[in-house]
Chains A and B, each alone.
Chain A
Amino acid sequence: MRTPLSVRMFQSLPRTAWLALAIFAAIAWIAIPAAHLLLPESSPFHVSAYTVTLLGKILCYAVVAVAMDLIWGYAGILSLGHGVFFALGGYAFGMYLMRQIGTDGSYGVALPDFMVFLDWKALPWFWVGSDSFLWALIMVVAVPGLLAFVFGWFAFRSRIKGVYFSIITQALTYATMLLFFRNETGFGGNNGFTDFKRILGYDITSPQMRLVLFGLSAALLIAVLILGRYLVTSKFGRVLAAIRDAESRVRFIGYQPTQYKLAIWTLSAVLCALAGALYVPQVGIINPSEMSPANSIEIAVWVAVGGRGTLIGGVIGAFIVNLAKSFFTVSFPDYWLFFLGFLFIGVTLFLPDGVVGLWRKLRGKRAIEDTDTPTETPADAKGASA
C-alpha cells in the first residue's frame, strides 16, 4: 500500500517534465561544456566564458526564483527580503574564498586584505574555521537558515501577514545591508569580498572550474525543481494552499499554520543561500548591495513574469528578466530601469498569471488559478468513492 518516497518523488512530476529536465541536464552538462572547451573561438557555436558565467549566474537566480515561488506562489507569503539570504549564503562561502587567497593578496599576508587595511592583527572570532571547505558549506546553510528561522518564528507566531510581513522583510534586508556596509562588522564593508583565487586549491578562473560551477548550478536547479514539485503536490503543499486561502480555518481544524509557514520559509531561505554560495565564485564578488531592498523586490518580479504558483514560471521569469537586463545594460543603459519599471506594471496589470499563464491560455487550456493543483488525488478519490 505505502509507496516508497523515491517513487512518489518520481511520480510527482509528469513524464514530459522529466523529459524536459533530462534535455536541460544534457545541455548544461554536455553541450555547453563541449561548446566552451572543444570548439574554437571562431566557431559560431562556441560558447564564450562570458556566456557561461552569465548563464551560470542566471541559473543561480532561477533557483532563488523557485525558492521565492514556493513561499509566494504556494503559501501566499511575499518576501521582500530574500536577497538577504542569498547574500548571506554568498558571504558565508565568500569567507572561505577569502581564506583561500592565502598570502597571495596585495599585502602578502595571511589576513584578508581589508583586515590589513583596517589594521586588524588577527581574524575576528566569527572567522574561525572559515578556511575549511566543509565548515563553509555548513555555514552557508546554517547562518541564513537560522536567521530565517528566528525571524520567521517571531513573525509568524504573532500572525504578521500580507503586506505587513512584506514590509518587515524589507526592513530586515535593509538593516542587514546597513550592518554589512560598516567596516567594523568584519565583512569588508562597502567593497565586500573579491579577488578570489582558488577553490579547494584549484584555480577559480580556469575554464574547467567555470564549467564545474556552472554544472553545479544546473544540478542545484534541477534538484530544487524536483524537491519543490514533490512538496507542492504532497499534503504539506495542500496545507500551505489552505493557509493561503483561509488561515483561520486551518487553525480551527487543528493545524499549526505557524509551523508550516516556518518550515517552508526556512527551506526557501536555505535554497536561496545555496544559490548565493554558487553565485559568488562565478561572478567573483559579493558586497552589501546584494542586500539592497531593490534586489529583493526584483526577485518577486522574476516570479511574477514567469507566473507564480508554477515552479517552472520562476525559472522562465529569471531567464527573461536577466537576459533582458544584460542586453539593456550593455546596449541601452538609460532604458533598463524604464523597461524593468514597465515590466513590473505590465505584468501585474495584464499578465497576472505570467508567461506560463499566457501560454496555457493560448493553448486553450483552462488556466488553473494560481496553483497547479495536482490532478492525481481527486481522480483517485473519485475511484474510491464510486
Chain B
Amino acid sequence: MRCVGSGQQLKRSNIMPPSLFHRLRLLCLVLCCTIGAAHAAPSPETLAKMAEDDSDSRIEAIAELGAEGSAQSVAVLDALADEALALTGAGRLVILTDTGALDAATGAAIDPYPDDADALMINNRIRRALQSAKAATNIRATDRSTRLAAALQLRDGADEALMPLLEPALAAEQDKEIRAILALAVARVNLASELPAKRTRAAELLGDSADASVKFMLTALLEKDGNGQFAEPDAGVRAAAKASINAIERRLAIADLASTAFTGLSLGSILLLAALGLAITYGVMGVINMAHGELLMVGAYATYVVQGLFRTHLPEYIDSYVIAAVPVAFFTAAAVGMLMERTVIRWLYGRPLETLLATWGLSLVLIQTARVIFGPQNVEVANPAWMSGGVSTYADIVLPWNRLVIIGFAIFVLLLVWLMMQKTRLGMFVRAVTQNRAMAGCVGVPTARIDTLAFGIGAGIAGLGGCALSQVANVGPAMGQGYIVDSFMVVVLGGVGQLAGAVTAAMGLGLMTKILEGWAGAVVAKILVLVFIIIFIQKRPQGLFALKGRFVED
C-alpha cells in the first residue's frame, strides 16, 4: 500500500496538463493554417498596437487578434508566444523562423533577412492574455477536443474583452458538454457586469458548476468588507449566489465520494491481485508462504525483462509488451514457486511455523538474487501509451487508464482462479488433496504432483499480481516486503480458503484505507487499518466468511 499512495493520479483538474495543451496547440496551428487560409489578415491598426512598447496596448492587440481569428492572426499570436515575433529597426513586425523571416501582416517571406529584427519580450500578463486569445481562436475549431480544451481554458480565465467572442461561440456550439462550459464562462464574465439582473442570472448559472474555484468566487460575493458592506450590494444576487453555492457543494461532495470510492476500489483490486496467489497457497493448501511478496517481485521483474526485450528487438510493438508480459510473468513465477515447493516446502507440510521461517529464508535469497541480477535500485517499468491518460467523467474526475485496466485485470484473474479451482480436474484434485490427503491418495490422485502444481499455480497468480503491480508501483528488490503483511491481512480477514471472502476483504480494506486517508493522512490510515484488522480478528478469528460447526477443529 505504501508504494501505491504516491501513484494516485486522480485529481479534479482545472488546468490541462502542459504537455497535452502543447499538443493541442500544435494541432490547432495546423488546422488553422489549412482551413483558415481564406480569412482576412490582421488589421494594420492592431499590428501597430502590437508594435508599441507598452504591455497594455499589446494586450489589447492580442485580444483583437484572438477575436479576429484569421490564420495569419493565429500565426502572429503563436510567434509571440514562442518569442519569434520581432520588430525591425524600421518598425515592421516580422515572424522569425528557422529558415528566414515572414511579414507579420501577410505571411510573405522577406528577403533579405532583416538583421536588425529584435524579438518582442513577453511577461506574465501578456502570457495570460495570449492563452485566452489562443482559446478564443480555438473555440471555433472543428475538432471537438480542441474546442473542449479551449472552453475549459475560457471558463477559468475569461475576461470582458472576450465577451464579443464568447456569446456567438455559445450560440453556435452544438456539443452539450462544451455548451455547458461556455455558459459557465459567460456567467463568470457576467458576474462582473454592472446590471444586477445580469449578475443574478450569472450567479444562478454558475450553480451548474462542480468547481471549487467557482464556489470561492461566489463565496467572495457574500463576504463583508471592513465597513460591514457586502462585496455584492444586491440582495437578489446574493440569494442566487447562496443557492448556487449550496448546489456546488452538493455536487462537490458527491464527486468527492465518487473519487474516494474509485481510489478505494483501485487500491482494493491491487490488494486483491497481491493476495489472490496467497489465497491459493495459504488459503487452500495451508502453506504459510512468507516469500509470497517475492513471487510478486518475480512477476514484476519478468515484466521488466519483457519490456527490455521489446525495446531492443520489437520497438514497433512496444505498446503491446504488457500483453506479452502477462503469460511470461505467470510462468516465471510459477516455475520459481514449483522449485520452492520441490526443494523446501514439501518437507514442511503440517508444520506451519517451520514453513514460515523457511519461506522467510527463501524470500531473503530471492531478494538478494534480484539485487545481484538487476542491481539494488528500482528499475523503470513504463506504462504503454494506451494505459496513460484517463477518462474524464462527472465533475472533472479523471479516471486514469492504468487504474481502470488494473481493476479489469483483477476481475480477469479472479475469474481465472475461480474457473481453475471449481471447473477443472486439477482444481478438483487440489481440493481433494487439501481436504483429505490420505483418502485422495487412495483413490489414485497423485498427491505429490498435485501439491507442486497447486503451489505453482498460486505462485503464477502471484506473478500475475506482480505484473499488474509493475504498472502502478515501484519495481525493486524489496518491493515484495511491502505487500506481504497486506496480503496476509486480506486472506486472514476474508477467511481462509474463501475466494469471496478475499474479494470482500480486499475491497473493504481498499475503501477503508482511502476513506481514512482523506481524513487522517496516509500513515495514520494505515495504522488504523491494521488496528482494525487486529480487533476484527479478535471478534471473528475465522474471518469474514467462516466455516462453522463440526468443520472447525480446535
Complex: A in contact with B (CB within 8 Å) = yes
* A294 close to chain B: CB less than 8 A: yes
Asked if B489 is an interface residue, CB under 8 A from chain A, the answer is yes
CB < 8 Å: which of B365, B534, B535 contacts A342?
A: B365
Query: A293 to B485, Cβ gap below 8 A?
Result: yes
Among B353, B356, B538, the residue within 8 A (CB) of A158 is B538
In the complex, what distance in Å separates the CA atom of A347 from the CA atom of B353?
13
Chain A residues, Cβ within 8 Å of B361: 301, 340-345, 348
> With an 8 A cutoff between CB atoms, is A219 at the interface?
no
Q: Is B413 an interface residue, CB under 8 A from the partner?
A: no
CA distance A174 to B554 in the complex (A): 29
Are A170 and B534 touching (Cβ within 8 A)? Answer: no
Q: Give every chain B residue within 8 A of A131 (Cβ-Cβ).
A: none
Q: Complex formed: what's the CA distance from A171 to B538 in Å?
A: 14
Q: How far is the CB of B32 from chain A (nearest CB, A)?
A: 53
The distance from the CB of B543 to the nearest CB of chain A, in whole angstroms, is 10
Partner of A337, one of B353, B357, B364, B541: B364
A166-B353, A172-B534, A297-B357 are known contacts. Are A334 and B485 too (CB-CB below 8 A)? no
Taking a contact as CB atoms under 8 Å apart, the answer to whether A168 and B537 are in contact is yes
Contacts of B541 in A (CB 8 A): 158-160, 164
Q: Verify if A338 is at the interface (C-beta below 8 Å from B).
A: yes
Among residues 507 to 554 in chain B, which have CB atoms less than 8 Å away from a CB atom of chain A? Answer: 523-524, 526-527, 530-531, 533-535, 537-539, 541, 554
Give the 9 A-B CB pairs with smallest separation, nearest first: A344-B361, A341-B364, A341-B365, A337-B368, A175-B530, A158-B538, A345-B361, A348-B358, A341-B361
Residues of A within 8 A of B (CB): 78, 151, 154-155, 157-160, 162-164, 166-168, 170-172, 174-175, 178-179, 181-182, 247-248, 293-294, 297, 300-301, 304, 334, 337-338, 340-345, 347-349, 352
- Bound form: Cα–Cα A5–B435 in Å: 51
B84 within 8 A of A: no
Which residues of chain A have C-beta atoms less than 8 A from B492's C-beta? 164, 167
Assess A154 versus B538: contact at CB under 8 Å? Given A171-B530, A181-B523: yes
Verify if B344 is at the interface (C-beta below 8 Å from A). Answer: yes
Contact A348 B530 (CB under 8 A): no
A301 to B354, CA, bound (A): 10
| A297–B372 CB distance below 8 A | no
Closest to A247 in B: B554
Q: Are B539 and A158 within 8 A (Cβ)?
A: yes
Query: Closest approach, in angstroms, between the C-beta of A252 and any C-beta of chain B?
Result: 11
How many pairs, one residue from A and one from B, have CB atoms within 8 Å of each other in the complex? 116
Contact A349 B357 (CB under 8 A): no
Q: A168 CA to B365 CA in the complex, in Å?
A: 24
Identify the closest chain B residue to A297 (Cβ). B360
B368 contacts across to A, CB distance below 8 A:
334, 337-338, 341
Contacts of A293 in B (CB 8 A): 481, 484-485
Of all chain B residues, the one with the shortest Cβ separation from A176 is B527
Residues of B within 8 A of A172 (CB): 530, 534
Q: Which residue of B lies closest to A170 (CB)?
A: B485
A158-B354 in contact (CB<8A): no
Question: B353 is contacted by which of A163, A171, A248, A334 (Cβ under 8 Å)?
Answer: A163
Please determine whether B357 and A300 come into contact, CB atoms closer than 8 angstroms: yes
Give a binary string over B339-372; 1 marks a CB under 8 Å from any A CB, 0 the rest: 0000010011000111111101111110110011
Contact call B354/A348, Cβ cutoff below 8 A: yes
Contact of B356 with A179 in the complex, beta carbons under 8 Å: no
Chain A residues, Cβ within 8 Å of B539: 158
In the complex, what residues of A have CB within 8 A of residue B363's CB?
A: 341
Q: Are B360 and A160 interface neighbours, CB within 8 A?
A: no
Residues of chain A within 8 A (CB-CB) of B365 are 337-338, 341-342, 345
Contact A175 B354 (CB under 8 A): no
Choice from B357, B362, B372, B489 contacting A301 with Cβ under 8 Å = B357
Asked if B288 is at the interface (CB within 8 A of a chain A CB), the reply is yes
Least CB distance, A341 to chain B, in whole angstroms: 3
Task: Decide if B488 is an interface residue (CB 8 Å cutoff).
Answer: yes
Given A167-B492, A337-B365, A344-B360: A175 and B526 within 8 A (CB)?
yes
Prevailing SS type, chain B contact patch: helix
Mark contacts of B273-309 with chain A using CB atoms, 8 A cut-off: 1 yes-contact digit, 0 otherwise: 0000000000000001010000000000000000000
Q: Which residues in A have their C-beta under 8 angstroms from that of B526?
A: 175, 178
| Bound CA span A174–B368, Å | 22
Return the CB mask of B367-382 against A: 1 if under 8 Å, else 0: 1100110000000000
CA of A174 to CA of B482, assembled, Å: 10
Q: A349 with B554: in contact, given A157-B538, A341-B363, A341-B365 (CB under 8 Å)?
A: no
B527, A178: Cβ atoms closer than 8 Å: yes
The reply to whether B356 and A78 form a contact with Cβ atoms under 8 Å apart is: yes
| Contact present for B554 and A345 (CB under 8 Å) | no
| Contact A179–B523 (Cβ < 8 Å) | yes
CA A157 to CA B372, docked complex, whole Å: 46
Task: State the Cβ distance, A332 to closest chain B Cβ, in Å.
Answer: 12
What B residues does A345 contact at CB under 8 A? 344, 358, 361-362, 365
Measured in the bound complex, the distance between the Cα atoms of B290 and A348 in whole Å is: 14
The residues of B that contact A175 with a CB separation of less than 8 Å are 526-527, 530-531
**Known A-B contacts A170-B485, A175-B530; A348 and B367 likewise in contact (beta carbons under 8 Å):** no
Minimum C-beta distance from B386 to chain A (A): 35
Q: How far is the CB of B485 from chain A (nearest CB, A)?
A: 5
**Which residue on chain A has the smallest CB distance to residue B531?**
A175
Residues of B near A181 (CB, < 8 A) are 523
Contacts of A337 in B (CB 8 A): 364-365, 367-368, 371
Given known contacts A155-B534, A166-B353, A342-B365, what 6 new A-B pairs fall within 8 Å (CB)?
Answer: A154-B534, A171-B485, A175-B531, A179-B523, A334-B371, A337-B371
Which residues of the other chain, B, contact A342 by a CB distance below 8 angstroms? 361, 365
- In the docked arrangement, what's the CA distance between A362 and B358, Å? 24
If A341-B362, A341-B363 touch, whether A162 touches B535 (CB-CB below 8 Å) is no
Contact A174 B485 (CB under 8 A): yes
0/1 string, B171-201, CB within 8 A of A gives 1: 0000000000000000000000000000000
State the Cβ distance, B322 to closest chain A Cβ, in Å: 31
Nearest B residue to A77 by beta-carbon distance?
A: B353
- From known contacts A159-B541, A175-B527, infer whether A248 and B357 are also in contact, taking CB-CB under 8 Å: no
Interchain CB contact under 8 A, A155 and B538? yes
**Closest-CB distance, A156 to chain B (whole angstroms):** 10
CA distance A159 to B542 in the complex (A): 11
Once the chains bind, are A160 and B523 in contact (CB under 8 Å)?
no
> Which residues of the partner chain B approach A340 to less than 8 Å between Cβ atoms?
361, 364
Is A248 a contact of B554 with CB atoms below 8 Å?
Answer: yes
Name which of B352, B485, B489 has the most chain A CB atoms within 10 A of its CB. B485
Closest chain B CB from A183 CB (angstroms): 10
Measured CA separation A170–B489 after assembly (Å): 11
Report the separation of the CA atoms of residues A364 and B523 in the bound assembly, to the nearest whole angstrom.
55
How far does the alpha carbon of A352 sit from the alpha carbon of B218 in the complex, in Å? Answer: 73
A-side contacts of B372, CB under 8 Å: 334
* CB-CB nearest in chain B for A151: B534
In the bound complex, what is the Cα–Cα distance between A32 and B360 (angstroms)?
A: 36
Minimal beta-carbon separation of A43 from chain B (angstroms): 39
Task: Identify the closest chain A residue to B291 (Cβ).
Answer: A341
In the bound complex, residues from chain B placing their C-beta under 8 Å from that of A163 are 288, 352-353, 356
What residue in chain B is nearest A344 (Cβ atoms)? B361
Contact A160 B537 (CB under 8 A): yes
Report A90 CB to chain B, min CB distance, Å.
20
Complex Cα spacing A300 to B554, Å: 25
CA distance A31 to B541 in the complex (A): 53
Which A-chain residue is minimally distant from B554 (CB atoms)? Answer: A248
For the complex formed, measure the closest distance between the CB of B150 and the CB atoms of chain A, giving whole angstroms: 45
